[in-house]
């Protein structure tokens, strides 16, 4: 089996003439077909939310999920509602299990619900078998709550990188249609240098196809800058974020933002009774009071929507073979419990 995978991988990586429309990517054996730039007036900008509990997802994976993320989530939902904007929520399955009513409320507000995995353990700490199991479990948990198929994925801490690119095949085999886990520049701990900055079709080592939607990066002074949200939205000044996102649009790419609800809660870390080191409190807490205002400005300036709207414009056929599972419970995408 392993020999077969290596053989396919070598065959693709040695292929001097990839199939029409495809080109080599920075990851050996993975081909890409970047979407062409579009008229800036017609772009489908995306806002995405990684729904997780800071203390469990970032500080210590062994802690139980707490209610702490509800405050930031409520603020974010109100902000999106005020600007009549729908987003894609990549939901951590252990958060969904902890607060299923919140997930249904987010869904009822018209937002798209997809998967952020099971418990926020990064892929470089998993092997393919464990990843497959976690992915399937998380998909089932979320689908049971929403009754809708889960077809999009974002890895914890953008942890699909060159050494974990095996995950792309497992995503396709597990019924996923798109992924937003590849950070299109190298930063500390994640990212892939020279990965296409805009949306692209990808052809995995086994020949399966997915759509990849990286969060936004802007080019300046011969290098890329992370301007798509998260900690960068906290730490970068408004002018830099505005300049970066306008340059993304001018290049013909849609803006793809990502936000953590806890970043809208400036009291979340200071109120913790946990022994969080001072440097970490500062690094993770700095700039939080500015996030809601920056986000409101962006929601006024650009028209954002969920990721599925953008994925539909990049034609990738539905995954071959049946989705994971058999008898439908509330949706037809995973086995009945």
In the complex, the residues that contact Zn ion under the rule CB under 5 A are: 50, 52, 156
Cα 141 to Cα 94: distance, rounded to the nearest angstrom: 9
- Rounded CA gap, 39 and 256, in Å? 16
The CA distances from residue 291 to 84, 257, 260, 271, in Å, are 18, 13, 10, 18
Least distance to Zn ion, CB of residue 253, Å:
23
CB of residue 123 to Zn ion, shortest distance in Å: 12
Q: Least distance in Å: CB of 175 to Zn ion? A: 21
3-class SS of residue 91 = strand
**Do residues 2 and 9 lie in contact, with contact meaning Cβ atoms separated by under 8 Å?**
no
Nearer to Zn ion, 156 or 228 (CB): 156
Which is closer to Zn ion, CB of 156 or CB of 244? 156
Residues 265, 75 contacting (CB under 8 angstroms): yes
- Tell me if residue 104 falls in helix, strand or coil: helix
- For β-strands 88-91 and 45-51, DSSP reports them as parallel
- Taking the least distance from each CB to Zn ion, the nearer of 34 and 117 is 117
> Is the CB of 57 or the CB of 216 nearer to Zn ion?
57
| Smaller CB separation from Zn ion, 52 or 134 | 52
Cα dist. 310→42, 211, 324 in Å? 11, 10, 24
**Angstrom distance (rounded) from CA 266 to CA 285:** 7
Report the first-to-last Cα separation within the chain, whole angstroms.
Answer: 30
Would you say 154 or 201 has its CB closer to Zn ion?
154
CB closer to Zn ion, 56 vs 204: 56
Give the shortest CB-181-to-Zn ion separation in angstroms: 10
Burial state string for 218-237 with b = 16 or more CB within 10 A and e = fewer than 16: beeeeebbbbbbbbbbbebe
Cβ neighbour number for residue 67 with a 10 Å cutoff: 10
Secondary structure class of 208 (helix, strand, coil): coil
Question: In whole angstroms, how close is the CB of 93 to Zn ion at the nearest point?
Answer: 12
- Residue, CB closest to Zn ion: 50
Minimum distance from residue 156 beta carbon to Zn ion (Å) = 5
Beta carbon nearer to Zn ion, 59 or 253: 59
| Residue 215 contacts residue 229 (beta carbons within 8 Å) | yes
Query: Least separation, in Å, of the C-beta of 57 and Zn ion?
Result: 5
Q: Cβ 117 to Zn ion, closest distance in Å?
A: 8
CB of 155 to Zn ion, least distance (A): 8
* Whole-number Å distance between alpha carbons of 9 and 14: 8
Nearer to Zn ion, 85 or 94 (CB): 94
Helix (H, G, I), strand (E, B) or coil at 228: coil
Residue 292 to residue 53: CA distance in whole angstroms: 18
């Amino acid at each position: 089996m392993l020999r077969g995978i290596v053989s396919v991988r070598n065959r693709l990586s040695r292929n001097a003439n990839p199939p029409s429309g495809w080109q080599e990517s920075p990851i050996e054996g993975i081909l890409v077909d970047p979407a062409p730039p579009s008229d800036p007036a017609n772009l489908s900008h995306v806002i995405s939310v990684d729904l997780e509990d800071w203390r469990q997802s970032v500080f210590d994976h062994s802690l139980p999920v707490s209610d702490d993320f509800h405050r930031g989530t409520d603020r974010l939902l109100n902000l999106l509602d005020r600007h009549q904007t729908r987003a894609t929520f990549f939901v951590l399955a252990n958060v969904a299990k902890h607060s299923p009513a919140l997930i249904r409320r987010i869904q009822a507000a018209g937002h798209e619900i997809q998967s952020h995995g099971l418990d926020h353990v990064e892929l470089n700490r998993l092997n393919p078998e464990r990843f497959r199991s976690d992915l399937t479990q998380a998909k089932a948990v979320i689908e049971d709550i929403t009754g809708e198929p889960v077809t999009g994925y974002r890895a914890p801490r953008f942890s699909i990188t060159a050494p974990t690119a095996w995950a792309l095949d497992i995503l396709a085999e597990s019924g996923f249609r798109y992924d937003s886990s590849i950070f299109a520049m190298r930063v500390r701990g994640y990212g892939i240098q020279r990965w296409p900055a805009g949306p692209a079709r990808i052809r995995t080592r086994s020949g399966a196809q997915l759509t990849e939607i990286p969060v936004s990066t802007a080019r300046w002074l011969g290098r890329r800058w992370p301007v798509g949200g998260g900690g960068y939205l906290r730490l970068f000044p408004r002018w830099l974020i505005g300049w970066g996102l306008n340059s993304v649009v001018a290049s013909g790419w849609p803006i793809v933002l990502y936000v953590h609800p806890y970043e809208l809660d400036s009291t979340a870390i200071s109120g913790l009774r946990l022994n969080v080191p001072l440097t970490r409190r500062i690094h993770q807490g700095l700039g939080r009071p500015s996030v809601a205002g920056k986000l409101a400005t962006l929601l006024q300036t650009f028209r954002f929507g969920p990721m599925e709207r953008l994925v539909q414009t990049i034609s990738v056929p539905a995954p071959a073979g049946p989705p994971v599972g058999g008898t439908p419970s509330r949706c037809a995408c995973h086995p009945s419990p």
